[in-house]
Amino acid sequence: MKYAKVRKEDGEKIRRKLGEAGKIAKGYPIISEAGFVFLPVIETKGLKYTIVEKAASSVEKPTLASLLKSKLTPRQLELLPGGFDSIGTIAILELPEELSAKGKHIAEAILKLHRNIKTVVAKASEHTGQFRLQMYKHLAGKKTKETIHRENGIMLKLDIEKVYFSPRSGTERQRIASQVKPNEDVLVMFAGCGPFTCVIAKNAKPRLVVGIELNPEAHKYSVINKNINHLENVTLYGGDVKKVLPRLGKRFDRILMPLPKTGANFLEVALKSAKKGAVIHLYDFQKEEDFPEATIEKIKKSCKKFKVLAAVLCGSYSPGVSRVCVDFKVG
Ligand SMILES: C[S@@+](CC[C@H](N)C(=O)[O-])C[C@H]1O[C@@H](n2cnc3c(N)ncnc32)[C@H](O)[C@@H]1O
């Protein structure tokens, strides 16, 4: 490999200059020896530095495929996932059937490549039941399913098996928080471990954010998350929205309904707690070709007078079916 030999004190300046000119050979080490720095160069023409030949092999960053070359067949290497979701320090893999026996090797390679990941699990079920929970199989690293996730300026502590949480919805949470006006009273139905309540309370200036959650574990984490984020204007209730909400006797400026599968069944109870002119965010699963009409039809069944403010696609549920949100103004 050809190297430009420069004095150590000029090394950084010349490295930058050669880099800007596109003359540095990427993937090769910069060598420091006895008061000199040796910069790997792709061509020497026009360079006024001393050029020396040095034995050096490329130090290309390892990839998942390069780390697994000896453990997987070429066909299996092709099937490696291009990425993974992470919740806090836990990486969540979705492995095709052909790779399930290689899960441990893949997980160990991920731990080597990503210093921030301490645990690797594989999805072992779909989201099921009233609490929308998902099971995971531990593959490598620290044996825990509890972690602290960071997004939109907040921390969220949760157990990925005891609580529903999707790291992919961070942008959607930001979209909603950015609409909250100062001094609004906001209701988050189906609050989970508190991602919407915390993101709104932290990033907007509501008077009050109320969260209601049925799953006792999720409610427990929601309270922890209110506390670790030092949020004072958040009030949380454990229990069924249909029972808790009428007992509060309170009306809200904004109501979030993040329960896409069956959320529309709660529209009537939501409307009874909505101030005149309140904004409701109804989440739904919809086939792309039926969006947004089919979700708007669901709203019409419970609400006589409303104005659609926005209809957005905010995630994918299954092939051809999206997670969607319709924002509408009541009355
Ligand atoms: C899709 S998850 C959303 C959780 C959270 N808002 C989030 O975005 O991560 C729906 C949540 O609604 C809760 N849930 C279901 N039925 C409920 C009800 N009748 N009353 C209150 N919460 C309910 C579930 O336990 C679950 O945590």
Domain harbouring 18, CATH code: 3.30.70.2580
Residues 19 and 71 in one domain: no
Distance CA 117, CA 318 (A): 27
Q: Give domain status of residue 45, yes or no.
A: yes
Predicted pLDDT of residue 22 = 86
Tell me which of 144, 173, 200 is where a domain ends: 144
- Within 6 A (CB) of ligand 1 lie 130-132, 164-165, 169, 190-192, 195-196, 212-215, 218, 240-242, 258-259
Query: Do 227 and 315 reside in the same domain of the chain?
Result: yes
Q: Which of 26, 53, 80 is the last residue of a domain?
A: 53
Q: Are residues 78 and 33 both part of a single domain? A: no
Residue 124 pLDDT: 96
Ligand 1 atom 6, closest CA: 191
Whether residue 315 is found in the same domain as residue 195: yes
Distance between CA 270 and CA 328 in Å, rounded? Answer: 13
Q: Is residue 12 part of a domain?
A: yes
The CATH number covering residue 110 comes to: 3.30.300.110
Amino acid 27: pLDDT? 76
Same domain membership, residue 179 and residue 325: yes
pLDDT computed for residue 61 by the predictor: 80
Shared domain for 198 and 264, answered yes or no, is: yes
Nearest to 255 by CA among 182, 176, 194: 176
Domain count, the chain: 3
Q: Is residue 253 part of a domain?
A: yes
Closest Cα to atom 18, ligand 1: which residue? 240
Report which of 318, 317, 290 is spatially closest to residue 326, judged by C-alpha positions: 290
Has residue 138 been placed in a domain?
A: yes
Q: Which two tokens stand for residue 237?
A: 């209730």
The pLDDT of residue 111: 98
Q: Is residue 323 part of a domain?
A: yes
- Quote the pLDDT of residue 21: 87
Do 80 and 39 share a structural domain? Answer: no
In-domain check, residue 203: yes
pLDDT the model gives residue 29: 85
Hey, how many other C-beta atoms are within 10 angstroms of the C-beta on 330? 19
Are 37 and 68 found together in one domain?
no
Q: In angstroms, rounded to a whole number, what is the distance separating the alpha carbons of residues 189 and 303?
A: 18
CATH of the domain at 233: 3.40.50.150
- What separation in Å is there between the alpha carbon of 132 and the centre of ligand 1? 7
Instruction: Out of 116, 144, 172, pick the residue that ends a domain.
Output: 144
Q: Based on the fold, state whether residues 100 and 215 are members of the same structural domain.
A: no
34: in domain = yes
Do residues 168 and 88 share a domain?
no
Quick one: which H or E segment has residue 85? strand 85-87
Residue 246 shares a structural domain with residue 289 = yes
Ligand 1 atom closest to 130 (CA)? 15
Distance 164 CA to ligand 1 centre (A): 8
Best residue among 85, 126, 173, 213 to mutate for probing ligand 1's pocket (most ligand atoms within 8 Å of CB) is 213
Q: Tell me the C-alpha distance between 276 and 16, whole Å.
A: 61
Cβ-based neighbours of 330, under 8 Å, separated by 6 or more: 271, 274, 276, 277, 278, 279, 280, 303, 305, 306
Predicted confidence (pLDDT) per residue in 277-314, tens digit: 999 999 999 999 999 999 999 999 999 999 999 999 99
Burial-class residue 84 by CB neighbours within 10 Å (0-12, 13-18, 19+). Answer: buried
Peptide bond before 167: cis, by omega within 30 degrees of 0? no
Residues with pLDDT less than 70, the chain: none
d(C-alpha 117, C-alpha 140), whole Å = 10
Token couple for 97: 């059937």
DSSP secondary structure, 166-200, as one string: -GGGHHHHHHHHTTPPTT-EEEESS-TTSHHHHHH
Q: What six digits make up the tokens of 127?
A: 């989201």
Query: Which pTM value belongs to this model?
Result: 0.84
Looking at the fold, whether 49 and 74 belong to one and the same domain comes out as: no
DSSP states along 119-167: EEEEE-S--BTTTTB--EEEEEES--SEEEEEETTEEEEEETTTS---G
Determine the Cα–Cα distance for residues 263 and 283; give it in Å rounded to an integer: 7
158 belongs to a structural domain = no
Domain containing residue 69: 64-144
Give the side-chain half-sphere CA count within 13 A for 318: 7
Which residue's CA is the nearest one to ligand 1's atom 26? 131
**CA 52 to chain CA mean position, Å:** 48
Q: How far apart are CA 15 and CA 36, in angstroms?
A: 13
**Token output for 101:** 């026996």
Q: To test ligand 1's pocket by mutation, which of 176, 259, 266, 283 has the most ligand atoms within 8 angstroms of CB?
A: 259
